Amino acid sequence: MNEVLNNIYTRRSIRKFKEQDVPKDLVDEIVKAGTYAPSGKNLQTYRFYVMQNADSIKSLQDVVAKGMENPAYTLYGAKAIVLVACEKEAVNGVSDCSCAIENMLLAAHSLGLGACWINQLKYCGDKAEVADYLEGLGIDKDMQVVGMVGMGYPDEEREAAKRQDDLVTYLN
């Protein structure tokens, strides 16, 4: 089977990670894949903010838990988090960031890592305390975090969910 298609067909969202840290060079390669994502008019509106420090990730988790009003909220024990953001006014920003996130998910899988798209900041990122925290990280208030990629060495295996039969309609 074609290597690219195989990577697409076998990638799964992983939400349980081993305690092993992810080497910086792998994280760098994954983020680089994100920067190669397509973008509307090639404006490359996406911006990437990388966390690998356990205390920083825990702090982010706590802020998101509070913003979501869910004290049990977790970032699944991910060993690295990439926040993907764009300017709120960017016409194609959400689409651009979404393409970048998918590139990173596929890159992580191809490098033997597990990863998942974490989208809670999309819902609570405008709350004052969360926005202030993000601004402290260097993410201006005119930016929106479209999603985060949590990654690490997988500590679970997942089967593909059954694909729905009615997803495709051919038009003449």
pLDDT value at 13 more than 90: yes
The two three-digit tokens of residue 93, written as one number? 């920003």
Q: Would the pLDDT of 134 be above 90?
A: yes
Residue 116 lies in a domain: yes
Residue at 132 is within a domain: yes
Phi and psi at 104, nearest 5°, equal: -70, -40
Domain count, the chain: 1
Indicate the pTM of the whole model: 0.96
pLDDT in tens, 44-92: 999 999 999 999 999 999 999 999 999 999 999 999 999 999 999 999 9
In-domain check, residue 159: no
CATH code for position 10:
3.40.109.10
Tell whether 50 is covered by a domain: yes
Query: With bands split at pLDDT 50, 70 and 90, how would you rate the model's confidence at 160?
Result: confident
Do 113 and 152 contact (CB within 8 A), yes or no? yes
Mean pLDDT, residues 145-151: 99
| Domain assignment of residue 165, yes or no | no
Question: Is 96 a member of any domain?
Answer: yes
Half-sphere exposure of 82 (CA within 13 A, CB side): 31
Residue-range definition of the domain harbouring residue 107: 3-152
CB–CB of 138/85 below 8 Å?
Answer: no
Report the residue count for the chain: 172
> Is 82 part of any domain?
yes
161 pLDDT higher than 90: no
- For residue 75, is it within any domain? yes
Rounded Cα distance between 79 and 16, Å, is 10
